[in-house]
Chain A
Amino acid sequence: GENVEQHPSTLSVQEGDSAVIKCTYSDSASNYFPWYKQELGKGPQLIIDIRSNVGEKKDQRIAVTLNKTAKHFSLHITETQPEDSAVYFCAAHRPQAGTALIFGKGTTLSVSS
């Protein structure tokens, strides 16, 4: 089955700096890679996703890159703000009946002002 590794587990940055979170996946058949943000006391919320036919996707301060050959994908947040502080999860999905998203173990991002 799919296995997703996520690093780092914690990340502290100063406001205005960039933050990068990296994930690797094991199953080369996986083709969908979303990123979720979880704020305290709430459920995870999708912030950006990428499919295997695309190498990069950007949405304002957030970007995701995918390297299919190396089986890794990364989340980039530029000009970080205190409200970016949260737990971020990467996930991967293999297109097979009866399979669900497999999540990484999460990265706790702290942005200090």
Chain B
Amino acid sequence: DTAVSQTPKYLVTQMGNDKSIKCEQNLGHDTMYWYKQDSKKFLKIMFSYNNKELIINETVPNRFSPKSPDKAHLNLHINSLELGDSAVYFCASSLARGGNSPLHFGNGTRLTVT
């Protein structure tokens, strides 16, 4: 069984469109994250939720809106997509709140905006 699963794996879309990425974890963790990995492989935190509560919201355009319907799911909705949004987006989860326990990553969603 996949511990952290993301869908879709690939997403190709045009500028100006709205798209969503879904994430689910079956590890029973309380905390979930979205990370963005750019073309140079740099991993940057975007958001973190703990038991459906937003606890980290980095400097991300408000076109990005995370939603956590329950502690096992964290979705990412992106409005008005731009070329610069092209990246790999990783969902992750951890047992403890904060960054001092191991992260379990999904396999990523490669978003290409044309």
Contacts and interface: CB of A to CB of B under 8 A. Distances in A.
A42 B107 contact: yes
A50 to B, nearest CB: 12
Interface stretch (B60-68, B75-83, B98-106): B98-106
A15 B5 CA distance: 33
A20 interface: no
B105 A100 contact: no
Nearest to A94: B99
A45 B55 contact: no
A101 B58 CA distance: 12
B100 A93 contact: yes
Contacts of B99: 32, 91, 93, 99-102
Given A32-B100, A95-B100, A99-B98, A43 B90 contact: yes
Interface string B86-114: 00001010000011101111111000000
Contacts of A46: 102-104
Interface string B32-70: 010000001111110010000001101000000000000
B21 interface: no
B41 A49 contact: no
A98 B54 CA distance: 9
Contacts of A101: 45, 99, 103
Given A41-B107, A43-B105, A44-B105, A100 B41 contact: no
A70 interface: no
A21 B45 CA distance: 22
Interface string A34-46: 1010100111111
